Chains A and B, each alone.
Chain A
Amino acid sequence: MRFVDEFRDPEIIHRTAEELKRQVDPTRHYRFMEVCGGHTHAIYRFGLKDVLPSNIELIHGPGCPVCVLPMGRIDDGLSMAKDRQVVFAAFGDMMRVPGTTGSPLEHKARGADVRIVYSPSDALKLARTNPDKQVMFFAIGFETTAPSTALTLMRARAEGIKNFSVFCNHVTIIPAIRAILDSPDMRLDAFIGPGHVSTVIGCRPYEWIALHERKPVVVSGFEPLDMLQSILMILRQLNAGEARIENQYKRVVPWEGNSAALKAMAEVFQLRPYFEWRGLGFISQSALKIRDEYAEWDAEHRFHIPGIRVTDPKAAQCGEVLKGVLKPAQCKLFGCECTPEHPVGALMVSTEGSCAAYYNYEHRKAMVMNIAPAA
């Protein structure tokens, strides 16, 4: 398969791994953060730790949209689904995320009309085919998914579809990275930049990280070879004493981003003054709100939203894991009270969540093979 097989070629991967070994300083411990949850998933899915030198530590970042959503927003979304005229439409990732009164799937089992969609335009299609229902799309995601929500809202307005609305939970990546860097207990050497987000925003928005924080950023693809190459590029920068923004994922990411997508976002969304992130707390100008021109399709206007604020279950340490301060297995609930089947926190739900990825691929491997869990 093109664009897949060549990036999983054993021989090229071996050669890259050898080059990595030559570039690492064995006396040094490296800490790189992969910002994007897709990368976290790929690291475990492809067993990359088996290939990487052991003194390179990968820290999982905040780039998992489901994970950073505070529980109150899920409760808010589900409060709308109590009305039996409302169809609650969301991506599959959302379905098992626990709210205070259960996940969307549990609400579905109790009779709520909950549907999995693969794109916001599928939700709009539901509205067209169910004119007697109110279809509410629970929008999540970074700049990766925000443009398609924007385009869907533009189409809903153009077609005058009245029974469709969006509960907007879109967030932006740069303020989250800033919050992580501002966190005093976080020492990082470099970032593996998010590939999908960067297809939209491009590489320029990261320049301050190199300039002011003196840390390399390499925007990376998601195949095993992509990630190894990106890590190699970071090592070369560090060895040369440089801090630059580099684009490993050139086959997909344009340096300047996607102007049509950015334009659609600007047309439909504006920045919220602040937004609450799980684990990171309130971050100013870190999330998107639907503009007044589209208020008619904004679920926060159409429905009464209780604005629920709930703290995470006390023992759960999702916040610390999200910030990279704790490893998933260091959380008190990991693997006992909190498992992919019975998740307490969202990080255990999404395939991009570091806890779920760690549990599925790494933790069990360590357990069944009687080896110490990888750091």
Chain B
Amino acid sequence: MRFREPQIEMAHGAGGKASRRLVEGLFVPLLSYGSAESLGDAAHVDINGAQIAITTDSFVVKPITFPGGSIGELAINGTMNDLAVSGARGEAMVVTFVLEEGLPTNLLEAEARAMGEAARKADVKIVGGDTKVVEHGKADRMYISTTGIGRPLPGVMIDPHSVRSGDKVILSGPIGDHGITILLARGELDFEAELRSDTRCILPLVEAMVQAAGPGIRWMRDPTRGGVATSLNELARDCRLGINLLEESVPMRDAVRGACELLGLDPLHIANEGQFLAVVAPEYVDVALNALHMVEGGQDAKIIGDVREQPAGSVLVTTGYGGSRIVDMLVGDPLPRIC
């Protein structure tokens, strides 16, 4: 369907429904880069017989630094994670800086250092970049854009169409830490919580799981903007099956749960920067979980639901006491500029 909205609003960048409309209704037809159904976090292309995974991302988070991370670290990890959940290991990256005139050098230096450290830790090379400066007031301090290429991990094929009824949904750890941390870091709310962003490179977790259960892994996604609900809705739409979650089984810290209760937010819509979702065939689910539990930072991985024929194309959340509700993609933008 053509994109007919008269102007761009914050929601078009929020990763939810409006973003999808913009991409499918304007970018895909005009840039014609494949069908909308194959719009994953990274693309796999064949260049003279060599399989290359490629992705691009940009970072406009406000504030630039926050408990647990900063824009520079986020840029490296976010790009590595997009490649990882497409089933690839990031090998090289180029980065672009858009800087606001007047930006203190020490701030830029700190972010460059954070990027260097994150890249070393993730074992990815930064091989090039570009710098642009805009007038004071025309950007908010700094934006970073990254493009990463990677090599597909052997023994795994990520394809939403391969998902079958009976498959299990695995989540790598507690949700909502990043989104709520950013919200609190802005200092606009008069409450505090012991909370840090979960930003990290998830490649070691993905690699361990792929090694142990590769043939059983059907689909992966890092639930960033729009949260777990948006990622799973996209999957449900692509595979035309129903994703059923048990509400109580979705791991989350009390601080996140409390903040969401107070603010009327659904934790399933809150962004994460260091978690991933995987759909795994039932016969592989135990080995996949065991593999994750053996890796540092994978101890909290668990099954949060399963795939069924119904409700086709949607995500149904059931509570322990027998109530149920459909959870849609994120509509609107409750927390702008979180990454």
Contact = CB atoms under 8 A, between A and B. Distances in A.
Interface of A: 1, 4, 8-10, 13-14, 17, 44-48, 50-51, 92, 95-96, 105-106, 109-110, 117-119, 122, 224, 340-341, 351, 360-361, 364-365, 368-369
Given A118-B263, A351-B264, 7 more contacts: A9-B321, A45-B325, A46-B325, A117-B188, A360-B326, A365-B314, A369-B311
A50 B323 contact: yes
Q: Top 9 A-B pairs ranked by shortest CB distance? A: A47-B323, A368-B311, A13-B321, A10-B320, A10-B321, A361-B325, A368-B314, A47-B324, A365-B326
Interface string B4-30: 000111110000011000000000000
Given A47-B324, A106-B7, A368-B326, A8 B319 contact: yes
> Looking at A46, A50, A118, A368, which has the most chain B CB atoms within 10 Å of its CB?
A368
B102 interface: no
Interface in B317-338: 318-326, 328, 331-332, 334
Contacts of B258: 1
B328 A360 contact: yes
A9 B243 CA distance: 24
Contacts of B189: 118
Contacts of B321: 8-10, 13-14, 17, 51, 224
Contacts of B9: 105-106, 109
Given A13-B321, A118-B189, A364 B328 contact: yes
Nearest to B242: A368
Nearest to B314: A368
> Looking at B18, B263, B321, B326, which has the most chain A CB atoms within 10 Å of its CB?
B321
B263 to A, nearest CB: 8
B189 to A, nearest CB: 6
B310 interface: yes
11 contacts: A1-B258, A8-B320, A10-B322, A47-B323, A50-B323, A105-B10, A109-B8, A224-B323, A364-B326, A364-B328, A368-B310
Nearest to B329: A341
Interface residues of B, number: 36
A365 B322 contact: no
Nearest to B255: A1
A1 B323 contact: no
Contacts, number: 91
Interface of B: 7-11, 17-18, 188-190, 242, 254, 257-258, 261, 263-264, 310-314, 316, 318-326, 328, 331-332, 334
> Looking at B316, B320, B322, B323, which has the most chain A CB atoms within 10 Å of its CB?
B323
Contacts of B311: 365, 368-369
A10 to B, nearest CB: 4
A1 B254 contact: yes
Nearest to B254: A1
Contacts of A48: 323
Contacts of A361: 325-326
Nearest to B334: A92
Contacts of B319: 8, 10, 46-47, 224
Contacts of B312: 368
A1 B267 CA distance: 15
B313 to A, nearest CB: 6
Contacts of A14: 321-322
Contact of A368 (B7, B313, B320): B313
A17 B319 CA distance: 15
Contacts of B316: 365, 369
A285 to B, nearest CB: 30
Contacts of B242: 368
A362 B166 CA distance: 25
Contacts of B257: 1, 4
B10 A364 contact: no
Nearest to A49: B323
A88 to B, nearest CB: 15
A345 to B, nearest CB: 16
B283 to A, nearest CB: 28
Contacts of B261: 1, 4
Contacts of B188: 117-118, 122
A110 B6 CA distance: 11
B165 to A, nearest CB: 15
B250 to A, nearest CB: 14
A341 B17 contact: yes
Contacts of B328: 360, 364
A260 B50 CA distance: 73
A9 B334 CA distance: 29
B67 to A, nearest CB: 20
B322 A44 contact: no
A105 B331 CA distance: 14
